Structure 1
Amino acid sequence: MAKPTFLDRGTPWLLSMPALLLFLGLLAVPLTLTAILSLNAFDGMRGIQPALGLQNYAEILLDSYYHQIFLRTAGMALGVTFICILLGVPETLILSRMTPLWRGSSFAIILGPLLISVVVRTLGWSVLLGNRGLVNSVLLGIGLIDQPLRLLFSMTGVIIVLTHVFLPFMIIAVWSALQRLDRQVEHAARSLGATSTSTFFRIILPQLMPGILSGAIIVFALSASAFATPSIIGGRRVKVVATATYDEFLNSLNWPLGAAIAVLLLVAIVLVIVGSNRLVERRFKEVFT
């Protein structure tokens, strides 16, 4: 057997070089510069100062105002993730039992909004959720409420719109796990006398857990870092980490503090993703070994 030459060993690196350069140019370098910027001092009269330190992080970690913003963002992301799981799992199971024609049409309807800008969809929802919008008009018309609900400029409205925006990602993740589902095990359980409820919770759901957890990671990360929807639907009343970062950069012009907020958000999301990935890997081992 011929010994690998230097060219053979270097081929994978040469093939991956364009992707690595793109990664460094569009992600690694900007993140590094943002992290360095977050260490700079800021003076209201003189602007950004070259002195480096952790004063921006200390201000964020010690100020209850930022504690509320981060907790509000975490609650928003968890709420959207939980609702996406409740809606996405049954919807995916229903899709799997449709005929190919209806399944394809349903997938086109579910995934079609992904082709439209988030800003355009959010502006559409702002019309629907207004005091005189379609949602309140229907609820008033059927007598469920006596006065319009405040859905616009509220956390409730933000969660509703983010759920609509990110639900397709949950469905895609659960669908990929559903394709590995062994239907013979389900049929065997039913033939042995198991009820539909018992079969779902003891046979189907454990095999879907890796997909559910993967979808939850995606939805949580995207919800926690969302900017357009909280900014348009929430307005000034609902301030989350992304909108707080925007305010520091463009309103207060305190770029180092805004960069520190962005870095802390990134670190928090990475910690959640890493912890969830370990849970997903553990579930994969339990289910498929």
Structure 2
Amino acid sequence: MSTEKTPNTPYLLTAPGVLFFAALLGAPMIMTLLLSLHSYDFNLGVQSDWTFGNYAEVIGDPYFQKIFGRTFGLALWVTVICVAIGVPEAYVLSRLNPRWRSIFLLIVLGPLLISVVVRTLGWALFFGGSGILSMVSQALGFGDEPVSLMFTFTGMTIALVHVLVPFMVISVWASLQKIDPQSEDAAYSLGASKMTVLRRITLPQAMPGILSGSIIVFALTASAFATPAIIGGRRLKVVATAAYDEYLSTLNWPLGAAIAVLLLIANIAIIVSYNKLVERRFAKVFE
């Protein structure tokens, strides 16, 4: 029996998966896009006409502009902090002996075993005016008034970093595991310092993990709902909570769909631009 591959073999092998994801993900996205192109009447509901008015309203309204700015500012800040924490943590994990590596890797990935809602509620109890943070700050004499990080940008940032930093660690650690130790040993034998080896050998080979981890963290932060909804509340809305309110509070489904589509488009544009920029910059630095 011949096992020779035909030019169409890769397409035939990937077709089932592509069709499955197209039905599971593509169909709802197309339906959301079509819904966003209808107008809405508070008395009659969703209309059968076609319009770009929802997109014009979202893009031109300073209220929504502020929400989008806050969302991507939060995503950028959380990504930077996750890189600052996750990259050194992954580097240390890759240098541990197998026994300790397994233990600390379990500690790092442990939060992923708990629901994000449960973890966020834990932070809410910690950040509240009568929570542990407030009691400790008053006990240490930092002030007589209750301290609360609920409904603050700082509180959302801390909670999201705790939720998402394991994704950064996993991505960077996977890249570091592929590095051949002999390449570092060869550099040391030629007189390179530890910083030189880290900058010229380790970091370039870890860049795919840093890049993929950054993209994952940024995308998950920009589209996060549970943590911003609990910690930020209605006082600090992000795009996901704004779309949720349009769907379930005002029942303006077309406007909520337009917000969701614009979030997707902005996310894709930022991620693709970031990917190309980082690859071009580091290609020049590490030549």
Q: TM-score, normalised to structure 2's length?
A: 0.89
- 1:188 & 1:45 partners in 2: Cα distance? 74
- 2:60 & 2:226 partners in 1: Cα distance? 28
- 1:143 & 1:198 partners in 2: Cα distance? 46
- 1:60 & 1:264 partners in 2: Cα distance? 9
Structure 1 residues 76-117: Cα deviation after superposition (integer angstroms, max 9, x where no partner): 000110000010011111111212111101111111221221
1:224 is the counterpart of 2:231 = no
- 1:27 & 1:190 partners in 2: Cα distance? 49
Check 1:198–1:128 CA distance in 2 against 1; reply closer, same or farther (3 A cut): same
**Counterpart of 2:40 in 1: which secondary structure?**
strand
Counterpart of 1:155?
A: 153
Counterpart of 2:75?
A: 77
Between 241-250 and 131-140, the greater mean CA deviation after superposition = 131-140
1:63 is the counterpart of 2:58 = no
Question: What is the 5 A alignment of 1:15-26?
Answer: 15-26=13-24
Structure 1 residues 130-173: Cα deviation after superposition (integer angstroms, max 9, x where no partner): 12222333344344565443311111111111101110100011
Query: One-letter code of the match for 1:232?
Result: I
Check 1:149–1:187 CA distance in 2 against 1; reply closer, same or farther (3 A cut): farther
- Counterpart among 116, 119, 125 of residue 117 in structure 2: 119
- 1:177 & 1:230 partners in 2: Cα distance? 31
CA contact (8 A) 1:206 1:287 kept: no
- Counterpart among 99, 106, 109 of residue 108 in structure 1: 106
Structure 1 residues 33-83: Cα deviation after superposition (integer angstroms, max 9, x where no partner): 100100001112111111101111111111111110000001100011000
Root mean square deviation of aligned Cα: 2.7
1:50 is the counterpart of 2:48 = yes
CA contact (8 A) 2:133 2:147 kept: no
CA contact (8 A) 1:210 1:280 kept: no
Question: What is the 5 A alignment of 1:259-278?
Answer: 259-278=257-276
- 1:79 & 1:109 partners in 2: Cα distance? 24
Between 134-143 and 176-185, the greater mean CA deviation after superposition = 134-143
- Sequence identity, in percent? 55
**Counterpart of 1:51 in 2: which secondary structure?**
coil
Structure 1 residues 193-251: Cα deviation after superposition (integer angstroms, max 9, x where no partner): 54444443344323322211111000000000000000011111110000000010000
Check 1:106–1:73 CA distance in 2 against 1; reply closer, same or farther (3 A cut): same
Point out where structure 2 has 5 or more consecutive residues left out of the alignment.
none
CA contact (8 A) 2:167 2:216 kept: yes
Query: One-letter code of the match for 1:155?
Result: F
Check 1:285–1:180 CA distance in 2 against 1; reply closer, same or farther (3 A cut): farther
Between 216-225 and 142-151, the greater mean CA deviation after superposition = 142-151
Query: One-letter code of the match for 2:160?
Result: L
- Counterpart among 240, 256, 259 of residue 258 in structure 1: 256
CA drift of 1:21 comes to 3.1
Check 1:183–1:117 CA distance in 2 against 1; reply closer, same or farther (3 A cut): same
- 1:34 & 1:284 partners in 2: Cα distance? 38
Between 256-265 and 145-154, the greater mean CA deviation after superposition = 145-154
Q: TM-score, normalised to structure 1's length?
A: 0.89
Point out where structure 1 has 5 or more consecutive residues left out of the alignment.
none
**Counterpart of 1:150 in 2: which secondary structure?**
coil
Query: One-letter code of the match for 2:120?
Result: T
- 1:203 & 1:140 partners in 2: Cα distance? 48
Counterpart of 2:203?
A: 205
